[in-house]
Every structure is written in C-alpha cells, then in structure tokens.
Amino acid sequence: MKIDIRYFAWVRERIGHGHETVETEAATPAALIEELRGKGPHYAAAFEDMTALRVALDQELTEFSAPLSGAREVAFFPPMTGG
C-alpha cells in the first residue's frame, strides 16, 4: 500500500525532508519504522529511540502497534510540551 509520511521537528531535521510517500507492506507504525531504518543512516538516526517519538495516523495520536490498514497518512514527531 502507498502511504504518506510526515516528519516534524528534529525527526524532519535528521531525515532531511518533511514529507514522502512510500510503498509499504508494514502492518503497524512500528513495522514501518523498521522498513524506514533500512533506507539509510539518516533514517536510522531519526528512529534510533522510539521512546522519544510519537505517532499519529490520519492526524489522530495512536500507538506504534496500531494497524496501518486504511490509514492514508502517518506522522512522526517528538512529544510536545505546553508552556
């Protein structure tokens, strides 16, 4: 399936761009991350510590174990703080 991926904040900085569309067989965001890590050192660095990341499917915060089926967009970003 094709899925749009958006990267925010330092994730975007490490990867070098904020958006891409990929073809994937991943069933979950965690599996998608494993595929992305294989794309090169920039991706490996961005996804080195999943505890420092959050994920959203179609703009709804979710877990890394959530099913990707039916999702059109995945977003990866660091935790946000208020102030």
Dump pLDDT digits (tens) for 21-54.
Answer: 999 999 999 999 999 999 999 999 999 999 999 9
Reading the block at residue 39, the tokens are 């794309």
Which domains, from first to last, does the chain contain? Answer: 16-77 (3.10.20)
Q: What is the dihedral of CA 71, 62, 76, 32, to 10 degrees?
A: -60
Give burial (CB, 10 Å; 0-12/13-18/19+) of 25: exposed
pLDDT at residue number 64: 97
